[in-house]
Amino acid sequence: MDARLITVAKTVLNSRLQDLHNAEACLFLTNSAGVILHQWSGDTSLMAQLAKLDVEPGFLVSEMTLGTTSGSTLITRTPTFVRGPEHFGAQFSRFTSAGTVITHPVLRKVVGSVNLICRFRDTSPLALSWVCEIVSEIERGLLEASTKSEQLLMQGFLVENRDARHPVVAVSEQTVVTNAAAARLLGSVDQLMLWEFASKIVADPRKATDPLVLGDGMAVDVRCRSIMNDMSVAGVVMNLKRVPAPSRSARIPAHEPILTSLIGTGAQWQTLCERLSRASKTSLLLVGDPGVGKGAVADAIAGPSAVVLDAADASTGQDWLGQLDDALQRRGQAVVIKHIDRLPTALVQSVAVLMTRHQNVAKVIATSGAWPHDGHTTDDVLARFVSPILVPTLSERVEDLPALVNHFTALHQNADRPVRWMSDALQALSRIEWPDNVAGLERVVARVVANADFEYIGARDLPAQLASQTSRRRLGGLEKAEVTAIVDALHNAGGNKHQAAAALGIARSTLYRKMRTLGIDLNESTF
């Protein structure tokens, strides 16, 4: 929004620069937070004086930082005219300032302000009316720009919606439009996924070939078309089509429900359940990255009466082997061996012999981070399992993330202080790579819930070290370190940017500039 505001304001002011020069004044454009985005100078010496008072692009102009000035219009939401000594700060007693807010004509919210500053001796009673006139033109420009983008988006939507039987969704920076077929198909979680899907398409159109898996596990093919407004993307129109289910003759006979105690409904999770159901009578090797939930899956399959051993604890040697030998001799007994790939090399051959000897007695369910026949030190044991089953990573089942977050929140929150996650926080979490997968997600949820001050958790409440991973663009190593340091300073300062800048040892204008460049301030936009 800031970029669009600057573009429109420049167009409006280009024809008024001579008037500004004649008035020997300077004009400043701010965003809704009071940060100066752009300046126009009608008097270079006046501009230099104001720069010494931190009135220049990148700095904050508000009542909290400068006292009563025309910047107060962002608080009062009314035109403000402050003459010389009327300024709260003595440093501004030599100036007169006039300002008023810019209200977006479509969004109906304040998106910025225009402020004129001149020397007190040059005060004109027409200054405020001139500023209001400029703002009116900027608002008309925003209306024209927004109307054009929205018209283009709606035109694209209507073209795809000629046959209303097919689900069609149009997504822009601030808007989601669906037809009735899409509304019936999509849930609240799916809207979040559509936003992320659209943002990936804008960044890389080749992503449009990837299937989209909805929250209930249904896969849909997506045909996308980017809607362009001049040289920028105004939105994306998506035509959704259900992936055909297998024919009745090709379907696999139904199995008993499995993993019902665990969280998951997405396509990857359903594939896992299907494979486990087929192999329910045989010994199983569950393979996957750290934290994907291999142990939880093994426990769920084995049941509460299973004997559970951890190969990582097998350093006790004969005692551990004795427990395994005893468990494997119980007919019908389920034996869970976790981290079997961590089995000490000295015990590998003995365990392989025991498993071969009792292979038709007990059912073994093992977890491993290594695959059989991959040259691992425990390959003699891993090779005893005929068909290893892969447990998907969290990034492969992102459609399950909201349900997992809610589950972990219920586990870790104080029953007297329930909390809810906002969509921007869930969207931010969905952008993280999660090297520790579900286990890492649970740790983050537990930490955020424990530190939550309010009922609702937003993206700003996420740990500082995650901020660099939630940016819309890929950051380099140094940029990631900068983001972590800035967000940590902001958290410690309670959101006060002046204090955060001081703690970081940088100018406030530098802090604002870096926040914009690094994309730290998550706003309400889709892309």
Confidence of residue 139 (pLDDT cuts 50, 70, 90): very high
| CATH C-level class of 396-469 | mainly alpha
Average pLDDT value over all residues in the chain: 82
Q: Which residues 6+ apart lie within 8 Å of 474 measured at CB? A: none
pLDDT: is 327 or 491 the higher one?
327
CATH topology of domain 471-518: Arc Repressor Mutant, subunit A (1.10.10)
Task: Please determine, for residue 225, whether its predicted confidence score (pLDDT) is greater than 80.
Answer: yes
Task: Please determine, for residue 191, whether its predicted confidence score (pLDDT) is greater than 80.
Answer: no
- What are the residue boundaries of the structural domains of the chain, listed by start? 1-144, 162-242, 267-392, 396-469, 471-518
pLDDT of residue 205: 62
**What are the structure tokens assigned to 290, written together?**
């750290």
Confidence of residue 133 (pLDDT cuts 50, 70, 90): very high
CA distance 98 to 118: 9
Which CATH architecture does the domain made up of 267-392 adopt? 3-Layer(aba) Sandwich (3.40)
pLDDT of residue 375: 84
Asked whether the beta carbons of 13 and 5 are under 8 A apart, the reply is: no
Beta bridge partners of 240: 222
| CATH C-level class of 1-144 | alpha beta
CA distance 226 to 232: 10
Confidence of residue 67 (pLDDT cuts 50, 70, 90): very low
pLDDT of residue 252: 47
- Pick left, alpha or beta for residue 387 (phi over 0 → left; psi -120 to 50 → alpha; otherwise beta): beta
Q: What is the CATH number of domain 162-242?
A: 3.30.450.20
> Lowest-pLDDT range, 79-83, 146-150, 247-251, 443-447?
247-251
pLDDT of residue 449: 93
Task: Please determine, for residue 527, whether its predicted confidence score (pLDDT) is greater than 60.
Answer: no
Confidence of residue 101 (pLDDT cuts 50, 70, 90): very high
CA distance 320 to 326: 10
Task: Please determine, for residue 217, whether its predicted confidence score (pLDDT) is greater than 70.
Answer: no
519 phi and psi angles, rounded to 5 deg = 70, 35
> Lowest-pLDDT range, 281-295, 396-410, 414-428, 454-468?
454-468
Q: Which helix (H) or strand (E) holds 349?
A: helix 345-357
pLDDT: is 517 or 453 the higher one?
453
CB atoms within 10 A of CB 191: 16
In the DSSP assignment, the letter for residue 462 is: S
Nearest Cα neighbor of 27 from 114, 92, 100, 93 is: 114
What interhelical angle do 497-504 and 508-518 show, nearest 10? Answer: 100
Confidence of residue 246 (pLDDT cuts 50, 70, 90): low
pLDDT: is 158 or 267 the higher one?
158
pLDDT: is 157 or 61 the higher one?
157
Task: Please determine, for residue 66, whether its predicted confidence score (pLDDT) is greater than 70.
Answer: no
Task: Please determine, for residue 210, whether its predicted confidence score (pLDDT) is greater than 80.
Answer: no
pLDDT of residue 351: 93
Task: Please determine, for residue 475, whether its predicted confidence score (pLDDT) is greater than 50.
Answer: yes
Cα separation of the two ends of the chain = 11
What residue has token string 């270079």? 44
Nearest Cα neighbor of 189 from 510, 437, 421 is: 421
pLDDT: is 48 or 231 the higher one?
48
217 burial level (CB within 10 Å; 0-12, 13-18, 19+)? middle
Q: Do the domains 162-242 and 1-144 match in fold?
A: yes
pLDDT: is 321 or 191 the higher one?
321
Asked whether the beta carbons of 118 and 151 are under 8 A apart, the reply is: no
Task: Please determine, for residue 367, whether its predicted confidence score (pLDDT) is greater than 70.
Answer: yes
Q: Which residues 6+ apart lie within 8 Å of 524 measured at CB? A: 174, 424
Which stretches within 186-266 are classed as H helix? 188-203
What residue has token string 């079997």? 340
CA distance 26 to 471: 35
Task: Please determine, for residue 248, whether its predicted confidence score (pLDDT) is greater than 70.
Answer: no
What interhelical angle do 423-430 and 401-412 show, nearest 10? Answer: 110
Which residues of 425-508 form beta strands (DSSP E)? 456-457
pLDDT in tens, 13-25: 988 888 888 888 8
Mean pLDDT calculated for residue range 143-171: 83
Residue type (1 letter), 429: L
Which residues of 47-159 form beta strands (DSSP E)? 80-83, 95-103, 110-119
Q: Which helix (H) or strand (E) holds 365?
A: strand 363-368
pLDDT of residue 508: 76
Q: Which helix (H) or strand (E) holds 318?
A: helix 318-328
Task: Please determine, for residue 106, whether its predicted confidence score (pLDDT) is greater than 70.
Answer: yes
